[in-house]
Amino acid sequence: MERIPYGKHLITKEDIAAVVEVLKSDLLTQGPHVKYFEDAFADYVGCKYAVAVSNGTTALHLCALALGVDNGVKVITTPITFVASANCVLYCGGEVVFADINPENYLLNIEKVRELLLKDLKKEIKGFILVNFAGNVTDLESFRALADEFGCWIIEDACHSPGGYFLNSRQDKVFSGSGMYADLAIFSFHPVKHIAAGEGGMITTNDETLYLKLLNLRTHGIQQDRSKRVENHGEWYYEMQSLGYNYRLTDFQAALGLSQLKRAEKRLEKRKKIASIYNNFFLDKDYIRSHSGFSEGHAYHLYVIEIDNRKDLYDYLRNLNIYCQVHYIPVHLMPFYKSLGWEKNDLPQSELYYSRCLSLPIYPELTYEQQKYVMNSINQFYNKI
């Protein structure tokens, strides 16, 4: 069997044609496709504003800046995420406070967050970064209520969940990034994600003030609205009003993202189908402690199982050309975060999860034959030991 990775992108003829068209044009950086992509993406997630940026990490950085993270500001997030979800707080001089996960859904445990807020007598915790791990969309309605109680903001890290949703208390579908409950949401277009643009990111929001701030921060802090300039020396004039960055997305990446976005819904359906095949297969397997489960709004960036003998299974599958992955090494146990004072046993549920988790191959082009090979190989491994 040819190598089966845990995730894989697909570039079509249409994608290539869309990129080539931009490469032949005069504008490679901020051309018209950036705005087309932003508008189409805002439409897709159902929010008012979208800001395209160079990747998901820069999206997080700009969100943290726009929300005022600075020295003395503490922000809560989960350790079961990619390091970028936490690092953005440190970029701005703030402090990360990790809370443990809920072992049922692998997302931040709201009760643990509440405990931290109640202990925060100096009111230094100003916000939460909620990660829709694996594609499972957080109950943002409950977190919004908690955030409002304690005067906090919410960034939804939606890198794993474009097209995903949760059902709120009225049973309405609340789409990831729609801005109904979170102040800002961020996405990544790294090739392993649902939409591949090489590198790329998007911030979505319904808040006009934050939107305008983000536009300026993305381009060196240069005021994008001519009417808001303090001075005007002529047509050549530009004015830097805050300390910003160059976090722009190129026009050809935007064209690629836009082309990919057109197929996003179809591809999401394929991910869901693959997940339901795994779910059915694992239903009666005693060696499975837990898995990603099936909820209709899950976007299935990852399909995670929890098993014993994870390392041996990982090596066994690799020898069969099945390249699974582990998501994630708890961020608080990274040597850098340990140097800031975090220690083993600080977050027991996250650490237990890490000792048993394995992400199985899931991507729209995974064939049934390949998936059967993966499932049968896992079975064989547990029949042998």
Instruction: Output 82 or 381, the one with its CB closest to ligand PLP.
Output: 82
In the chain, % helix, strand, coil (3-state, to 5) comes to: 40, 15, 45
Residues 305 and 360: their CA atoms lie apart, in Å, by 7
Min separation Cβ 190 and ligand PLP, Å: 4
Nearest-angstrom CA–CA distance, 254 and 235: 27
- Cβ-based nearer residue to ligand PLP, 106 or 381: 106
Q: Which stretch binds ligand PLP (CB under 6 A): 33-41, 80-88, 135-143, 286-294?
A: 80-88
Tell me the residue type at 383.
Answer: N
d(CA 52, CA 249): 6
Binder among 84, 134, 147, 302 for ligand PLP (CB under 6 A): 84
**Residue 82 touching ligand PLP (CB under 6 A):** yes
Near ligand PLP by CB under 6 A: residue from 19, 86, 159, 184? 159
Rounded to whole angstroms, the Cα distance separating 265 from 163 reads: 7
Q: Which of 52, 63, 66, 85 is in the footprint of ligand PLP by CB under 6 A?
A: 85
Return the SS3 of 32: helix
Q: Which is nearer to ligand PLP, 175 or 316 (CB)?
A: 175
- Using CB under 6 A, count the residues that bind ligand PLP: 14
H or E stretch at 153: strand 153-157
Burial of 265 (0-12, 13-18, 19+ CB in 10 A): exposed
Least gap, CB of 146 to ligand PLP (angstroms): 21
Q: Could you tell me which residues come within 8 angstroms of residue 150 by beta carbon, excluding any fewer than 6 positions away?
A: 117, 120, 123, 125
Q: Name residues contacting ligand PLP, limited to 26-55 (CB under 6 A).
A: 55
The only residue of 157, 183, 251, 306 in contact with ligand PLP, by rule CB under 6 A: 157
Decide: is 56 part of the binding site for ligand PLP (CB under 6 A): yes
Give the per-residue contact string, 90-129, with ligand PLP (x = CB under 6 A; - = no).
----------------------------------------
Three-state SS at 173 = strand
CA pair distance 132, 108, nearest whole angstrom: 9
CA atoms within 13 A on the CB side of 196: 15
- Among the listed ranges 14-22, 76-84, 108-116, 249-257, the one in contact with ligand PLP (CB under 6 A) is 76-84
SS3 of residue 4 by DSSP? strand
User: Which lies closer to ligand PLP via its Cβ, residue 316 or residue 353?
Assistant: 353
Q: Is 188 in the site for ligand PLP (CB under 6 A)?
A: yes
Binding site for ligand PLP (CB under 6 A): 55-57, 81-82, 84-85, 131, 157, 159-160, 188, 190, 201
